[in-house]
Chains A and B, each alone.
Chain A
Amino acid sequence: MMNFPTTVPTEAYLILSAVLFGIGAMGVMLRKSALTMFMSVELMLNAVNLSFVAFARHFGRLDGQIIVFFVMAVAAAEVAVGLAIIVDIFRSRRSVDIDDVNWLRG
């Protein structure tokens, strides 16, 4: 019989969360499409959510999970605003390539 650990240690969640956060951050820096960048940011936020839930479970308390609700609501609002702005950008420039958006500089 294989000897599985009886619980998933909190560290595992945290490492996964950190990896997801890192992937999200890399996505923001490497992808050119504003939409994809935005998705990457959402990935970062959700990675943090995972951390919150993991910590809450670790402490045996609920507050971490409540925080996740707040974060999700905030993220939803951010998504709505972000999509609106990206659509606006697309309508005026026919592109969502973020590298094209560099008039303001210096």
Chain B
Amino acid sequence: MWWEVPCQVPAEVQRENTRVAFDYVPILIQILVAFAIAIGVIVISNFVGSKRPTAAKLAPYECGMTPVGQAWRRFPIKFFLTAMLFVLFDVEVIFFVPWTVILRHLRVGGTDYVLFALGEMAVFAGFLLLGYVYVWKKRALEWEA
């Protein structure tokens, strides 16, 4: 079975893998420094800077305009619908990734299964397409409705 074959990882990659944590240490230090600077600047400015609050200063900044209405606005349902459809189709695409990686190597015992795999993906894509047609016909994609 395919998964019982241990991952065919090149030797040099494996060697690097063993040092993986060590390699990340500089990045970790960098992140810490970045956070420290950001937090430090805010904290220091809080202590050092003068504070003379006025109503105008406390108001939310809206490009020089007076803020109107509530900050929290309801979005039209369209946004949700679009977001949901996006999430669905977006996630389905993850199945393409392992397929593309493995496609050229689908050769077991001298038999070539590449075309079969292509066909399989066509079936999968076909189902996705069916979903797309469904969404289309249900007018979920029409922005002005």
Contacts and interface: CB of A to CB of B under 8 A. Distances in A.
Do any CB atoms of chain A lie under 8 A from CB atoms of chain B in the complex? yes
Interface of A: 4-8, 60-63, 66, 69, 72-73, 75-77, 79-80, 83-84, 87, 91
A79 B91 CA distance: 11
Interface in B14-51: 17-22, 25
7 contacts: A6-B18, A7-B18, A60-B7, A66-B98, A73-B92, A76-B88, A91-B77
B143 to A, nearest CB: 18
Contacts of B2: 62
Interface residues of B, number: 25
Which secondary structure dominates where chain B touches chain A? helix
B4 A61 contact: yes
Contacts of B91: 72-73, 75-76
A77 B21 contact: no
Main secondary structure of the interface of A (DSSP, over half): helix
Nearest to A64: B3
Contact of B6 (A8, A60, A73, A77): A60
A73 B6 CA distance: 25
Contacts, number: 56
Nearest to A73: B91
Nearest to B95: A69
A4 B98 contact: no
B6 A4 contact: no
Contacts of A8: 20-21
A73 B94 contact: yes
A62 B4 CA distance: 8
Interface of B: 2-4, 6-7, 17-22, 25, 77, 80, 83-85, 87-88, 90-92, 94-95, 98
B88 A77 contact: yes
Nearest to A88: B77
Contact of B20 (A7, A63, A76, A80): A7
Given A4-B25, A7-B21, A87-B77, 14 more contacts: A4-B21, A6-B18, A6-B19, A7-B20, A8-B20, A61-B7, A62-B3, A66-B98, A76-B87, A80-B85, A83-B80, A83-B83, A84-B84, A91-B77
